[in-house]
Amino acid sequence: MIISERDIRDENALHIAKGMLAAARTAPKGKGVDLIEAAAITGEDKQALSDYMEQLASEYGMFFIRDAGNVRDSQVVVLIGTRTRVQGLNCAHCGFPTCAEKPEKVPCEINSVDVGIAIGSAVSYAADARADSRVLFSAGLAAQKLGLLGEDVTQVFAIPLSISSKSPFFDRASTRPSH
């Protein structure tokens, strides 16, 4: 039997994404409270995310269109976000002296840090597997607006994953105005 890498590329990408989900779940948490939500999307869900990102470009910037192409060119997209819960530490990392003084719309910094640690753990897993990935705020915001991790999940970031001969996330066209 001959198994061509090309024939199992999508299967391999999904396998790596599953490992990234495990890495995000097992990443250390600032206070030991696990509020992380993570999922992988493929196929029609990935296409819908990419289409929605293009719709958001007029509101958030043209880089959403470029990043939508990255999502489209990937085999799978890992999403990582958090449910928001004040940790009650009165640490002032959010910019307010106590948790009671923090406005409800301001995220608890511990939740934010936990998302960052989970993302770092997930992309480290992808790098160890020699798969190309890129952390995208744009795709994460679109996924959050679509409620892909749940209506109460915030601070969502997306990590498209690609297994190809050239990374679609490298040498991307700039959306910055040239001066």
Q: Is the pLDDT assigned to residue 177 strictly greater than 70? A: no
Please report the pLDDT score of residue 19 as a whole number. 98
Please report the pLDDT score of residue 168 as a whole number. 85
Q: Is the pLDDT assigned to residue 173 strictly greater than 80? A: no
Spell out the residues 6+ positions from residue 79 whose beta carbon is closer than 8 angstroms to its own: 37, 38, 39, 40, 41, 140, 143, 148, 149, 156, 157, 158, 159
Please report the pLDDT score of residue 39 as a whole number. 98
Q: What is the pLDDT of residues 7-36, one digit of tens each?
A: 999 999 999 999 999 999 999 999 999 999
pTM: 0.92
Domains of the chain in start order, with CATH, are 5-162 (3.40.109.10)
**pLDDT classification of 172: cutoffs 50, 70, 90:** low
> How far is Cα 140 from Cα 122, in angstroms, rounded to an integer?
15
Could you tell me where the beta strands, DSSP code E, fall in 42-146?
A: 76-83, 132-133
Q: What is the pLDDT of residues 100-113, one digit of tens each?
A: 999 999 999 999 99
> How far is Cα 100 from Cα 55, in angstroms, rounded to an integer?
37
- Residue 54 contacts residue 65 (beta carbons within 8 Å): yes
Q: What is the pLDDT of residues 39-94, one digit of tens each?
A: 999 999 999 999 999 999 999 999 999 999 999 999 999 999 999 888 889 999 99
- Residue 139 contacts residue 77 (beta carbons within 8 Å): yes
Give mean pLDDT, residues 147-166. Answer: 95
Q: Which two tokens stand for residue 21?
A: 């989900």
